[in-house]
Amino acid sequence: MDAIRIEHLSKHWGDVRALDDVSFEVPKGSLTVLLGPSGCGKSTLLRLVAGLDRATSGRITIDDVDVTRLPPHHRRISMVFQFYALFPHLTVAENITFGLRIRKADAKARVDRLQSVASLLGLSSLLERRPSQLSGGQQQRVAMGRAIIAEAPVCLMDEPMSNLDAKLRNEMRAEIHGLQRQLGITMLYVTHDQIEAMSMADQVVLLEAGRGRAAATGRADDRDPAGQGAGRRQHGQRHGLYTRPGSGLRRVG
C-alpha cells in the first residue's frame, strides 16, 4: 500500500507554474527522497502534502484517504522545515513538547514521550537548555524531536540539514535514516544534494522545473550509506538524471 499518492498535482502562483502535473507514490514505511535543484517546486510540493497551501489542481491521498482539501491537523503528518525555527525563549523540553501541549496531551504521557524521544536523539542531558546554548547539530535534533514526538505515521522533511556543515550532515543522514527505520514511519525527504539522495533513499523522485514525471526508484536492500557508488554513477540521458547501473535505480517516468 502506498502511504502517499500524488496524482496530477499542480500549483500555480499567477504565471509561475511551481508544480505542473506531478504524479508519484511514496510507499508505506519508505524513505522517499524528492530531489531537484533550487526553485523546482520541492517546498511547494511538501507544503501541499502538509496542507499548508492549497493545490491548483490534482489530488493527494494518504493511506487511500483523499486529503487534498483537509486542513493540516487532520492529515496526521509531522514536518521539519528548512529553517527549523526553534522558540528561543523555550527550553529544549518545551520546544519538543510544544505541539503536544497545544493538542492537550495528558501530562504523564507527555513526560513519557519526551523522555523516550530525548533518549533516542541523545538530548536527555540538554532538556533544560535554550536553543542558543546548543550546537547546530543539537538544534537539528530538537527540531526532529519536535516532529517525531507527535508519532504521526508520515513525516515530511524540507532540506532539514541545509544549515549544517558537511561532516555533521553525514552523521545526521545516518541518524535520520536510522530513526525512520526504527519508528517505521513513512518519510518524504527533500534535498537538492544528489549524494544525500542516493545515500539515504529507498526511492528517489526527481523534480525538475515543476515536473516530477522523471523519477527513479531504488531498493531498500541496495543502500549505499557511505556514498561509495558516487564514482560509479553515470549521467542519465535526459535532465542529468543520475543512475547507478545494476543498482535497481531506474527511470519510471
Q: Does 212 bind ligand ADP (CB under 6 A)?
A: no
Strands (E), 74-193: 77-80, 154-158, 186-191
Pick out residues in 190-209 that bind ligand ADP (CB under 6 A).
none
C-beta nearest to Mg ion: residue: 43
Contacts of 17 (CB under 8 A, 6+ apart): 10, 11, 210
Q: Does 83 bind ligand ADP (CB under 6 A)?
A: no
Whether the CA torsion 218, 197, 49, 209 is positive or negative: it is negative
In angstroms, the CA 19 to CA 45 distance is 7
Do residues 204 and 198 make contact, with C-beta atoms less than 8 angstroms apart? yes
Beta bridge partners of 17: 12
Residue count at the site for ligand ADP (CB under 6 A)?
Answer: 11
Cell of 62: 494518504
Contacts of 122 (CB under 8 A, 6+ apart): 141
Q: Give the nearest distance from C-beta 46 to ligand ADP in angstroms.
A: 8
Q: Does 43 bind Mg ion (CB under 5 A)?
A: yes
Q: Give the nearest distance from C-beta 149 to ligand ADP in angstroms.
A: 26
Could you say which of 30, 44, 140, 217 contacts ligand ADP (CB under 6 A)?
44
Strands (E), 14-116: 16-27, 31-35, 57-62, 65-66, 77-80
Q: Does 229 bind ligand ADP (CB under 6 A)?
A: no
Q: Does 40 bind ligand ADP (CB under 6 A)?
A: yes
In angstroms, the CA 157 to CA 187 distance is 8
Do residues 202 and 27 make contact, with C-beta atoms less than 8 angstroms apart? yes
Could you say which of 9, 20, 41, 218 contacts ligand ADP (CB under 6 A)?
41
Could you say which of 1, 38, 104, 237 contacts ligand ADP (CB under 6 A)?
38
Q: Which is nearer to Mg ion, 42 or 211 (CB)?
A: 42
Stretch that binds ligand ADP, among 39-47, 107-115, 226-234, 244-252 (CB under 6 A): 39-47
**Residue 109 contact, options Mg ion, ligand ADP, none, Cβ 5-8 Å cut-off depending on partner type:** none
Site residues (CB under 5 A) for Mg ion?
42-43
Site residues for ligand ADP per CB under 6 A:
13, 16, 18, 36, 38-44
